[in-house]
């Protein structure tokens, strides 16, 4: 017979405020197979866990129900405690009487009776639970980092420095990401390039890092510890082994009117180009669409001038296969384009630009060599309007979330502008200033007090062109007055969005993204750098908008997670997986497409479906797809559910 211990947590007043925890413990103590029941203020605390351990040892408990918060939070905690006391951890269940009871009710009597039912239901589950052992899996101690911005660079360097090989894949011709485009960084005004480029060089020189630029992840299969990755190395039409990076090809290339992606359309580049002079690797690629040779078959200047014969027009895309044990997703962000804002002229007003364009304008290596010149006529703007929350915090039209970095970079922009145009006047339209961070608030205050930046609290309703001016109509909600500014230049702090193709990538990786395309973390507080899919970690703005120090911190955190994963002899996989009773399986194969992890396959010889235990994440999709009952999930059997349902529906006087 089972001897089940029930431990009811007060969670301070979180549970005890709405549920009579004493009554729950009393009511359950007489329930079938319950050998022990008690309550405690904080069951997850050390003394709380000790109560559990003591009861297991003293009463020889065979199963535990901890009535507390969500299992996402503390299932592992109590499983470990049980294990320390010699009880199989899979005989431990959490009865969620917080999120699913106390937090959502206010009638104490009803909530208490519901809590008792929830606990009884979980007692039924424990009765049906089998003791299980973890599944052991070999691990390939090599990591893949997708994205070569600051997050990817940091993650790659940290993992490589721990002694593990890393493959870094970047789809652009150079690593560096958006950070390479920035002029200075808040709140210290360090030169972005000065702090970034040494790291870029470190990456290229690191013996443990294999760098694939101008490459994309094509396909990922396998599972944590044993991923198989196919990487497409796009044809650059330049033999990167031969190329010395002298730059002569770019200099002589006659096709020069191609909009530069790196300069965000504010300058031109050649058809054979490196994105920027400090690129890593500093080797050019040919933009086939704009190359005269590829479009007309004539030209070939680059091939003629190349002294080492590195130009190869016949080059093809190349597929590389790699085995890795873990994958860091550091694919970064995009900026919502100016052309999408109706109220700001759909991008038709040349002197309305976005923040990244302004960064390029401020950058010493940018198209204006650091001078502030407006795009329409090259004049120095004397009145500049910065608009924060362009597209952010605007659930009706754009995105409901805060892009987080705009308050700070706008203050920086206004400051840098004042540093360059002493008699200029910057205005900032804002909703409110979010300057949480070390030295951030001081930085903004300095902009207001010392640099005399005019902050106007309100939204801009409309922008239009009047002669060579850009008329900005808005409202100062603090004064309750309409404001109209004849500006020379308008800079939009455009919303930070996920990469436009993040969903496609997510599908390839089988990792989840949220409704906006940002990669989803496994837990918002306790597992912020892990994806829900085992072996994937999230660094930087691919997960949510964030600034450089946060992105770097997160990248280092992923590196710590990856190295921890690589530190053991093997990985342990949860034994809560699907199993097949072959005698009941009729081979209908409905489970195969139901599996999102590719863990189900059909055995043609035996005519039954199988489960690849290591690939199985225990989601239960195949279990519910299986109409014959042949597929069952360990410790989540149909029989257990029936018992739980009937217990939940049982008439009782509680």
Note the residues at the interface with other proteins (CB under 8 A): 583-594, 602, 607, 621-622, 624-630, 638-639, 642, 645
- Least separation in angstroms between residue 510's CB and other proteins is 16
How far, CA to CA in Å, does 105 sit from each of 111, 511, 534, 581?
6, 34, 35, 41
- Least separation in angstroms between residue 508's CB and other proteins is 17
The closest alpha carbon to 329, from 503, 182, 523, belongs to 503
d(CA 214, CA 234): 6
- Least separation in angstroms between residue 513's CB and other proteins is 16
How would DSSP label each residue in 568-609? SSEEEE-S--EEE-TTT-----THHHH-TTS-EEEETTTTEE
- Least separation in angstroms between residue 628's CB and other proteins is 4
Question: Residue 308 or residue 627: which is nearer to other proteins going by CB?
Answer: 627
- Least separation in angstroms between residue 507's CB and other proteins is 12
Contact criterion met (CB below 8 Å) for 170 and 123:
no
Question: Residue 202 or residue 638: which is nearer to other proteins going by CB?
Answer: 638
Question: Residue 12 or residue 593: which is nearer to other proteins going by CB?
Answer: 593
Contact criterion met (CB below 8 Å) for 167 and 324:
yes
- Least separation in angstroms between residue 607's CB and other proteins is 8
Cis peptide before 281 (omega within 30 of 0): yes
| Distance linking the first and last C-alpha atoms of the chain | 25
Q: Tokens 């230049």: give the residue.
A: 489
Question: Residue 461 or residue 652: which is nearer to other proteins going by CB?
Answer: 652
Question: Residue 118 or residue 608: which is nearer to other proteins going by CB?
Answer: 608
- Least separation in angstroms between residue 130's CB and other proteins is 16
- Which residues, other chains included, contact 270 with Cβ-Cβ below 8 Å and sequence gap of 6+? 250, 253, 255, 256, 258
Question: Residue 24 or residue 621: which is nearer to other proteins going by CB?
Answer: 621
- Least separation in angstroms between residue 319's CB and other proteins is 25
Spacing of C-alpha 605 from chain mean position = 42
Question: Residue 348 or residue 624: which is nearer to other proteins going by CB?
Answer: 624
Question: Residue 44 or residue 626: which is nearer to other proteins going by CB?
Answer: 626
- Least separation in angstroms between residue 633's CB and other proteins is 13
- Least separation in angstroms between residue 505's CB and other proteins is 18
- Least separation in angstroms between residue 639's CB and other proteins is 7
- Least separation in angstroms between residue 593's CB and other proteins is 4
- Least separation in angstroms between residue 219's CB and other proteins is 17
d(CA 317, CA 416): 43
Beta strands in 206-279 (DSSP E): 209-212, 215-223, 226-233, 258-259, 268-269, 272-273
- Least separation in angstroms between residue 218's CB and other proteins is 21
Contact criterion met (CB below 8 Å) for 492 and 353:
yes
| Structure token pair of residue 47 | 């003394």
Contact criterion met (CB below 8 Å) for 182 and 365:
no
Cis peptide before 187 (omega within 30 of 0): yes
Question: Residue 414 or residue 621: which is nearer to other proteins going by CB?
Answer: 621
Contact criterion met (CB below 8 Å) for 59 and 1:
no
The CA-CA-CA angle for residues 72, 75, 78, to 5°, reads 155
3-state secondary structure of 39: strand
- Least separation in angstroms between residue 622's CB and other proteins is 8
Question: Residue 302 or residue 619: which is nearer to other proteins going by CB?
Answer: 619
Question: Residue 17 or residue 587: which is nearer to other proteins going by CB?
Answer: 587
Instruction: Annotate 261-287 with three-state secondary structure.
Output: CCCCCCCEECCEECCCCCCCCCCCEEC
Instruction: Annotate 634-653 with three-state secondary structure.
Output: CCECHHHHHHHHHHHHCCCC
Q: Tokens 């490589």: give the residue.
A: 160
| Structure token pair of residue 509 | 């990786």
| Structure token pair of residue 572 | 């342990």
Contact criterion met (CB below 8 Å) for 221 and 599:
no
Question: Residue 224 or residue 626: which is nearer to other proteins going by CB?
Answer: 626
Question: Residue 203 or residue 577: which is nearer to other proteins going by CB?
Answer: 577
Percent composition of the chain: helix, strand, coil (DSSP 3-state, to 5): 30, 25, 45
d(CA 179, CA 150): 7
Instruction: Walk across the sheet containing 318-324 and list its strands.
Output: 215-223, 226-233, 318-324
Question: Residue 189 or residue 594: which is nearer to other proteins going by CB?
Answer: 594
Cis peptide before 317 (omega within 30 of 0): no
Question: Residue 525 or residue 604: which is nearer to other proteins going by CB?
Answer: 604
């Amino acid at each position: 017979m089972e001897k089940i211990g029930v431990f009811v947590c007060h969670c301070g007043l979180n549970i005890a405020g709405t549920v009579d925890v004493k009554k729950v413990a009393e009511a359950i103590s007489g329930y079938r197979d319950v050998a022990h029941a008690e309550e405690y203020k904080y069951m997850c605390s050390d003394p709380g866990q000790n109560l559990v351990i003591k009861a297991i040892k003293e009463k020889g408990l065979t199963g535990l129900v901890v009535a507390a918060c969500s299992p996402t939070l503390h299932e592992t905690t109590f499983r470990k405690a049980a294990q320390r006391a010699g009880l199989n951890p899979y005989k431990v269940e959490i009865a969620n009487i917080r999120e699913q009871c106390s937090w959502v009710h206010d009638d104490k009597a009803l909530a208490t009776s519901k809590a008792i039912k929830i606990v009884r239901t979980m007692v039924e589950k424990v009765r049906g639970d089998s003791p299980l052992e973890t599944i052991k899996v070999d691990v390939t101690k090599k990591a893949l980092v997708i994205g070569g911005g600051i997050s990817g660079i940091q993650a790659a360097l940290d993992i490589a420095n721990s002694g593990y090989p890393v493959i870094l894949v970047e789809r652009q011709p150079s690593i560096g990401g958006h950070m390479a485009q920035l002029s200075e960084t808040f709140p210290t005004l360090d030169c972005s390039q000065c702090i970034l480029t040494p790291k870029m060089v470190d990456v290229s020189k690191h013996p443990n890092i294999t760098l694939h630029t101008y490459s994309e992840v094509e396909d990922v299969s396998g599972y944590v510890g044993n991923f198989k990755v196919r990487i497409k190395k796009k044809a650059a039409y330049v033999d990167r082994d031969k190329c010395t990076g002298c730059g002569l090809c770019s200099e002589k290339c006659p096709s020069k009117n191609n909009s530069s992606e790196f300069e965000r359309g504010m300058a031109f580049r050649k058809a054979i180009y490196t994105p920027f002079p400090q690129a890593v690797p500093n080797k050019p690629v040919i933009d086939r669409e704009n190359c005269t040779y590829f479009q007309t078959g004539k030209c070939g200047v680059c091939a003629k001038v190349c002294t080492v014969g590195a130009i190869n027009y016949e080059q093809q895309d190349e597929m590389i296969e790699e085995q890795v044990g873990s994958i860091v997703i550091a694919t970064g962000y995009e900026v919502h384009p100016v052309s999408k804002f109706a109220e700001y002229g759909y991008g038709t007003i040349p002197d309305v630009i976005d923040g990244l364009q302004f960064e390029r304008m401020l950058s010493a290596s940018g198209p204006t060599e650091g001078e502030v010149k407006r795009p329409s006529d090259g004049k120095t703007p004397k009145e500049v309007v910065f608009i924060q929350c362009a597209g952010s915090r605007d659930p009706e039209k754009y995105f409901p979330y805060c892009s987080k970095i705009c308050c700070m970079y706008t203050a920086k922009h206004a400051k840098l502008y004042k540093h360059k145009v002493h008699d200029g006047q910057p205005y900032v339209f804002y909703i409110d200033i979010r300057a949480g961070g070390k030295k951030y608030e001081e930085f903004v205050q300095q902009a207001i007090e010392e640099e005399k930046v005019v902050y106007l609290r309100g939204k801009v309703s409309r922008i239009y062109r009047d002669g060579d001016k850009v008329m900005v109509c808005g409202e100062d909600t603090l004064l309750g007055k309409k404001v109209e500014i004849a500006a020379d230049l308008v800079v939009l702090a455009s919303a930070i969005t996920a990469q436009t193709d993040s969903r496609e990538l997510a599908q390839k990786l089988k990792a989840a993204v949220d409704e906006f395309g940002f990669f989803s973390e496994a837990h918002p507080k306790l597992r912020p750098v892990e994806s829900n899919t085992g072996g994937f970690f999230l660094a930087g703005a691919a997960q949510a908008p964030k600034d450089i120090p946060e992105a770097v911190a997160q990248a280092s955190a992923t590196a710590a997670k990856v190295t921890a994963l690589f530190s053991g002899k093997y990985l342990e996989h949860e034994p809560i997986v699907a199993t097949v009773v072959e005698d009941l399986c009729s081979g209908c194969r409905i489970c195969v497409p139901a599996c999102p992890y590719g863990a189900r396959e059909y055995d043609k010889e035996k005519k039954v479906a199988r489960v690849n235990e290591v690939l199985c994440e225990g989601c239960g999709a195949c279990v519910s797809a299986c109409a014959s009952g042949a597929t069952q999930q360990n410790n989540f059997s149909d029989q257990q559910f029936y018992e739980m349902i009937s217990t939940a529906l049982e008439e009782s006087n509680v």
